[in-house]
Amino acid sequence: MRDAIGPVADPGSTASGQLRCIRTVLAAAAMLLLSACGLRLPDPTPYVAGCAISEVAAPPAGEARFFFLSSALPDCRNATLELAAFRHPTLTHGTGLYSWKNPRKPTVAAPREVMPPVLAQHARAQWLAAIDEQMATPEAQGRLLVFIHGYNTTFDEAHEMAARIGALAGEEIPLVLLHWPSRAHPLSYAIDEATVSWAQGPLDEALAELSARADDITVVAHSMGARTAIRSVLSLDSFRRAQPDRVRRIVLASADEDRDRVLRPGGSVDLMLRHKRQILIYSSYRDTPLDLSRRAHGYARLGSTDCQHDILYEKRILGKHGNCHRTAPREGLAPVSTSRIDPADHYDHSDFIEDCRTRADFRAFLRGEPPPPFRINISEGDLVGYEIAPDGLDPDGLCSDNTDPD
């Protein structure tokens, strides 16, 4: 007979309920902390008051030039153009001139350092005309390199990574940085996630416009920028003027995107491969920022090889070292693990640009060359995958003496 005051509570159930309450409180506190990290939104008027449109300048001898399109608030309060960490309704079309601090051949231990750029703002028509002019040179041959940065990244950091990628691809190829205003703070993940989604439309339109002008486009995206890159590439089919087949190579490095959404049958990879393309994906189970992203989203990220949180239950028993970047074979797709690399940045989130062997592999892809021998095939059964072996053969000495493949 049930007691008049109700059933006796199970101690285990009570403890479990208390634990859930504690977790709920901690989650709420974390959200408040994240909200507190948001910067106060400024009045844009003093920021843009001194901004002026200028002609596109050719780079002086010894310097390089990149193009950028930004949805960030331009900041001209100090008589120079900078990009603030806030959204702006008007896009900024610009260029930057930059040089290398140490022009000698770089090494892994002391890579070549990129100097901060001097920025200038241009009218859209002039900006596009300058890109057309550089693509038309005999050296460029209609090629274009587009880079989309990730979360927690300042404009200068995005430029630095873009410049290093441009050097690997070949400095004769025009480089376009598609920039969105990251708050550049580790605790601003939610704000960055919302902002990159807000910036999606203008970035889609930009890639569509560039595809109508270039003959051969390579899109490189890092971290959270991979989401934008995937959606922008897929959106090309919806633009009347766009030429989707001219996006020929795509690199998704440390991609902060749902792994199953991309790799499942009929997922983003299959949709992108409807056009004849080459897609390179770099992943690592040691990627700390992506592990934090997985905790926020609940499931495995594309840039991780960890199997513990895969959507398929039978894969989860493979654990952290299960190489769940491996996937069904597709022509043009190369999923590559960098998990065995000793991370130069201690977070394993930028192997494609920080590690010599991964950088050599990346460079070969950008230039349409065969991968180096230290990219080894670890396919198993009906799943295809590769990894960068830190102890693999290096007959060409690309990294044996710690020299950067330049």
42 and 163 within one domain:
yes
Within a domain: 215 = no
Q: What is the DSSP letter of 243?
A: -
Is 5 part of a structural domain of the chain?
A: no
State how far the Cα of 76 lies from the Cα of 79, in Å rounded to an integer.
5
- φ, ψ for residue 74 (rounded to 5)? -70, 140
Residue 165 belongs to some domain of the structure: yes
CA angle 326, 261, 199 (to 5 degrees): 125
Question: In the predicted model, what is the mean pLDDT of residues 277-300?
Answer: 95
Examine the pLDDT at 361 and tell me if it is beyond 80. Answer: yes
Is 171 found in the same domain as 39?
yes
Beta strands in 256-392 (DSSP E): 278-283, 333-337, 375-377, 386-388
Q: Which ranges of 136-199 would DSSP assign to H, the alpha helix?
A: 155-169, 189-198
Q: Alpha helix locations (H) across 298-374?
A: 313-316, 351-354, 356-366
Helix (H, G, I), strand (E, B) or coil at 247: strand
Looking up tokens 């989309």, which residue turns up? 148
On whether both 172 and 266 belong to a single domain, the answer is no
Q: Which has more pLDDT, 342 or 8?
A: 342
Q: Is residue 285 assigned to a domain? A: yes
- Asked whether residue 194 falls in the same domain as residue 270, the answer is no
Q: In what order do the strands lie in the sheet with 64-75?
A: 118-122, 82-98, 64-75, 175-179, 143-148, 216-222, 247-253, 278-283, 333-337, 386-388, 375-377
Over 70: is that where the pLDDT of 402 sits? no
Does residue 217 fall inside a structural domain? Answer: no
* Residue 403: Cβ-neighbour burial (10 angstroms; 0-12, 13-18, 19+): middle
**194 contacts 183 by C-beta, under 8 angstroms:** no
Domain annotation covers residue 118: yes
Q: What is the largest CA-CA distance in the chain?
A: 93
Asked if residue 196 and residue 319 are part of one domain, the reply reads no
Higher pLDDT, 324 or 20: 324
CA nearest 236: which of 257, 260, 217?
217
Task: Please give the pLDDT value at position 17.
Answer: 46
Write down the pLDDT at residue 38.
56
User: Tokens 């010894």 — which residue?
Assistant: 62
As a whole number, mean pLDDT of residues 116-126 equals 97
Return the pLDDT at 109: 34
Q: Are the C-beta atoms of residues 303 and 254 closer than 8 Å to each other?
A: yes
Q: For residues 356 and 343, what is the distance between their CA atoms, to the nearest angstrom?
A: 11
Residues 295 and 355 in one domain: yes
What is the per-residue pLDDT across 15-51, written as a single tens digit (0 to 9) for each?
A: 444 444 444 344 444 544 554 455 689 999 999 999 9
The more confident residue out of 11 and 270 is: 270
Residue 218 lies in a domain: no
Calculate Rg over the CA atoms of the chain. Answer: 23
> What band does 375 get if pLDDT is binned at 50, 70 and 90?
very high
Please say whether the beta carbons of 375 and 398 come within 8 A. no
Cα angle at 364 between 367 and 234, to 5 degrees?
A: 65
pTM for the complete prediction? 0.89
Total domains in the chain come to: 2
Lowest average pLDDT, out of 12-21, 98-107, 193-202, 255-264, goes to 12-21
The boundaries of the domain holding residue 345 are: 254-406
pLDDT for 268: 99
Whether residue 280 sits in one domain with residue 158:
no
Alpha helices in 212-341 (DSSP H): 225-235, 259-263, 268-272, 288-297, 313-316
Q: Please indicate, yes or no, if residue 106 is contained in any of the structural domains.
A: yes
Q: For residue 356, count other CB atoms closer than 10 A to its CB.
A: 26
pLDDT at 343: 66
Do residues 196 and 266 share a domain? no
Which 3 state secondary structure label does DSSP give 201? helix
With cut-offs at 50, 70 and 90, classify the pLDDT of residue 376.
very high
> Domain check: are 279 and 403 in the same one?
yes
Residues 289 and 204 in one domain: no
pLDDT of residue 24: 39
| Co-location of 53 and 188 in the same domain | yes
- Beta strands 278-283 and 247-253 are parallel
401 and 332 co-located in one domain: yes
